[in-house]
Amino acid sequence: MTEPVRRPTVPLLPTESRARAFEEALSTAKGKHLLLALRGHPDPDAIACSLAQVHIAQRVGVRTTTIGYCHELSHRENRALVKLLGVDMRKLKSFREIEPVDFIALVDAHDLDPDYTDVEGIETLTIVDHHRAQVPIKARFIDLRLDVGATATIFVDYLAELAPLDGDVEEDRRIATALMHGLATDTDDFMVARPGDFRAAAQIAEVCDRDLLTDLSRRLIAPTAMDVIARALASLTVRRSFAMAGVGFVSEADRDTIGQAADFLVRREDIDTVVVYGVVGEKAIEGSLRTHSPSVDPGAWLEQAFGSDDRGKPYGGGRRDKGAFRIPIGFLGRATDRIQLWQLVEHAAKTALLRQIGEEPGKPGGITAV
């Protein structure tokens, strides 16, 4: 076979050599225009890695690097990040909206967002990501590491090798701070960080702007999430170290608030596991589990509690310290008496959860019918 094959660099290069290979690929864009095309709603990890790649691209002589995105900066905290760090980002749909793009680069994603248009014929130069590839990926340089909690960790590696950050340079401090923030948000404040993430954080800690980092990590809670948390607190039932809360009806746009409520409640001192559930979009009972109990395996636990659908697929799944479930309510969703519908859901969910923790519903200490 003489056909040239662009092999992914992943299986071929040890991590130490990848920084140089990344630099080499990037230097193909010397004097050219590179578009860092972010996928989905840009998050702190993706934004931080973009800043790092722009920094390295400047060093190798890329003429212009544009950071582009096509979906809103959705959380106020992400907008705050962009503002506080003065990140120059361009919202665009068509690649023709900006000066001609010579090459594309992807960070924290391994395929181009399908919502971009006029992308044909432009080569993807580099892909740096930490998500398992769901689709075949193609680029001149690929670094896909599944053993890190954030793409920021990979960029800390590159920077150390290619363009060490200097604590006396404002721009360098800004990049380090963004990377630290990306690392923190992608690893749930290092709770699920891997050894590589800790090493990366240690490497950039000295260069970070501590005040700016504090401002960035003052997490905001959306009013809708606050409302769902309030409902969860009002309906909280605690049994030994287990807690559960039903939050009623939640719109599809606000489904993440159920997980946020669970994140909040699991911090209660006397419990180690919590399940928060609600009816989302009048279509399904959805719930989130959070635990720091060593004996609770979220996936197995939820499967035992709620079982499986007709095809044998469990309603719930999870790993490590979190899990989620979704049980379609089908025709019942059309019921116009929402109070009754909720009572039914609440009863079914509580019954299943109490059985799972070994309490017989309806018996003293259990629940009584509403």
Q: Which is nearer to Mn ion, 78 or 151 (CB)?
A: 151
Using Cβ positions, the residue closest to Mn ion within the complex turns out to be 45
3-state secondary structure of 216: helix
295-303 long-range Cβ contacts below 8 angstroms, 24+ apart:
296/272, 298/322, 298/323, 299/323, 301/356
Shortest Cβ 130–Mn ion spacing (Å): 6
Give which of 203, 267, 258, 201 is closest to 235, Cα–Cα.
258
Helix (H) or strand (E) holding 319: strand 316-319
Contact 118, 96 (CB under 8 A): yes
Shortest Cβ 92–Mn ion spacing (Å): 22
Shortest Cβ 237–Mn ion spacing (Å): 35
State the pairing for strand pair 322-328/316-319.
antiparallel
d(CA 59, CA 110): 24
Q: Which is nearer to Mn ion, 108 or 111 (CB)?
A: 108
Pattern of binders to Mn ion over 142-171, x per CB under 5 A? ---------x--------------------
Q: Which is nearer to Mn ion, 42 or 246 (CB)?
A: 42
Residue 345 sits at the vertex; the CA angle it makes with 251 and 254, to the nearest 5 degrees, is 15
Shortest Cβ 307–Mn ion spacing (Å): 33
Shortest Cβ 153–Mn ion spacing (Å): 9
Q: Specify the residue for token string 């905001």.
A: 220
Give which of 69, 81, 82 is closest to 41, Cα–Cα.
69
Q: Does 45 bind Mn ion (CB under 5 A)?
A: yes
Size of the site for Mn ion (CB under 5 A): 4
DSSP result, 180-211: HHHHHHHTTTTTT--HHHHHHHHHHHTTS-HH
Helix (H) or strand (E) holding 339: helix 338-356
Shortest Cβ 329–Mn ion spacing (Å): 33
Q: Does 129 bind Mn ion (CB under 5 A)?
A: no
Shortest Cβ 193–Mn ion spacing (Å): 12
Shortest Cβ 186–Mn ion spacing (Å): 4
Q: Which is nearer to Mn ion, 190 or 249 (CB)?
A: 190
Strands (E), 38-137: 64-69, 89-91, 103-107, 123-129
d(CA 38, CA 290): 30
Q: Which is nearer to Mn ion, 200 or 280 (CB)?
A: 200
Q: Which is nearer to Mn ion, 109 or 329 (CB)?
A: 109
Shortest Cβ 144–Mn ion spacing (Å): 12
The number of CA neighbours under 13 Å toward the Cβ of 83 is 9
Q: Specify the residue for token string 């691209």.
A: 57
Pattern of binders to Mn ion over 74-113, x per CB under 5 A? ----------------------------------x-----
In the numeric block, which tokens belong to residue 306? 């709620």
Q: Which residues in the 282-311 window bind Mn ion by CB under 5 A? A: none
**Span interacting with Mn ion, options 15-23, 40-48, 138-146, 190-198, rule CB under 5 A:** 40-48
**Span interacting with Mn ion, options 39-47, 78-86, 169-177, 337-345, rule CB under 5 A:** 39-47
How many H-runs (helices) and E-runs (strands) does the chain carry?
11, 12
Pattern of binders to Mn ion over 175-214, x per CB under 5 A? -----------x----------------------------
- Contact residues for Mn ion (CB under 5 A)? 45, 108, 151, 186
